[in-house]
Amino acid sequence: MVDQFPSTDTLSAMPREDALRLAIEQFYFAYRAFTNPPDRILDQRGLGRVHHRILYFVGRNPQISVNTLLALLDVSKQALNAPLRQLIEMNLIAMDTAEHDRRVRQLSLTSNGSKLEAQLTGTQMKQLQAAFEKAGSDAEAGWHQVMRSLAEES
């Protein structure tokens, strides 16, 4: 199915609804290809995509508070509790008390957590790098604009 996508030259001749449906299909197939390599790695450890999201954002924001992570992921405490606890129990994330406020719990990756996060995200960075090189810098800039626009709508 993926190899049946029309060339970008024919997109402008397509009816608008068909072009939008094609964009949805491409988004779906691209997301599947983007998440499959990390999913296989996570599955070997009994983890899932939610664990990857937590590892990624804790890694990008060292000493992030639990409340800030909740807001960033836009999930409830209940939804975050079990996967976060599992990552802590697996020694992938450390939870410490903030020096400025003992009520605040801060999260950081352990050495093992950093290695796993780098492995998971590394596969995706390679995919993006290859796609951006193939598409060119104008397409990369356009992709960032589209992603930003979609993210702002949520």
Query: pLDDT tens for residues 43-90?
Result: 999 999 999 999 999 999 999 999 999 999 999 999 999 999 999 999
Is the model's pLDDT at 35 over the cut of 90? Answer: yes
Average pLDDT value over all residues in the chain: 94
Q: What's the pLDDT score for residue 2?
A: 58
**Rounded CA separation 70/129 (Å):** 29
Q: Note the pLDDT of residue 106.
A: 97
pTM of the model: 0.90
How much of the chain, in percent, has pLDDT values that exceed 70? 98
Q: How far is CA 40 from CA 34, 45, 151, in A?
A: 11, 9, 26
Q: Which class is domain 14-153?
A: mainly alpha
Look up residue 22 and give its two tokens. 């094609």
3-state secondary structure at position 98 = coil
Q: Is the pLDDT of residue 1 over 70?
A: no
Own/partner pairs, 140-143, CB within 8 angstroms, 24+ separation: none
Cα separation of 154 and 151, whole Å? 6
| Per-residue model confidence as pLDDT tens digits over 129-145 | 999 999 999 999 999 99
pLDDT of residue 27: 95
- Domain-by-domain residue ranges, the chain? 14-153
Q: What is the pLDDT of residue 9?
A: 74
pLDDT at 3 over 90: no
Residue with tokens 């924001």: 61
